[in-house]
Amino acid sequence: MRGGIVVTGTDTGCGKTWFSWLLVKALRAKGVDAVGWKPMCCGDREDAYALEDASDGRLTIDEVNPIWYRTPIAPFPASELEGGALGLATLVALGQGLQERHEIVICEGVGGWEVPLTAKENFSDFARMLDWPIALVIGNRLGALNHTFLTVDAIERKGCRLQAAVLNQVIEEQDVAGVTNRGVIEQRLPGKVVGEVMHGAEVLESEILASLEATGRD
């Protein structure tokens, strides 16, 4: 079976890379041929190198990350500065090629759901073209509720499938917001929250892994 998952986040710095790294590592530990894919990077390439590491060398760094802009801004203005506009259809074809060669492709997005990739297209358009289920990483901090519900609404309006939401503990000691966020989100998104990634965790909860492994192969 072949499948893919798009990992997006509520905002920049919510933990998409760490979660994607954990997910690829956990799947591979179970014997699943999972690979990480970071279609575009802006600034350094640390996220892509993390996914290359998680994929156990099954992909080169340029396969993991085919588009790399050196300027640490959104892809569209970066492409304007550096030249070489993104071709989303070409990137989608690359993703589909990976999907044909591996069991599950974990695609880590850039920034948040509506980050501009071209003059007229956002990351949400790219995700819609891929047509893979969406895993939403929620940076569990003050403001997460607003960011979560705005993102979920945008995912649904785009016609994409939100399959799972995971809270990522971005700070070591939770404040009141971090403690109460999950209950509110679960109430508003019944059946979508599949678990939490604790601060500094190096393994995923079994419930998260089971849910996303099944999702990736749908």
Whether 16 is catalytic = no
Token pair 């080169």 is at which residue? 60
Give the tokens for residue 43.
Answer: 């600034």
Q: Which residues are annotated as a binding site?
A: 17, 47, 108-111, 168-169
Q: Which residues are annotated as a binding site for Mg(2+)?
A: 17, 47, 108
- Cα torsion through 126, 132, 136, 137, rounded to 10: -90
Dist. CA 30–CA 26, nearest whole Å: 7
Give the chain's radius of gyration (CA, Å): 16
Dist. CA 184–CA 188, nearest whole Å: 6
The distance in angstroms from the start CA to the end CA of the chain is: 9
Q: Which residues are annotated as a binding site for ATP?
A: 47, 108-111, 168-169
Give the tokens for residue 132.
Answer: 């893979």
Point out the catalytic residue in the list 38, 120, 158, 192.
38
Catalytic residues: 38
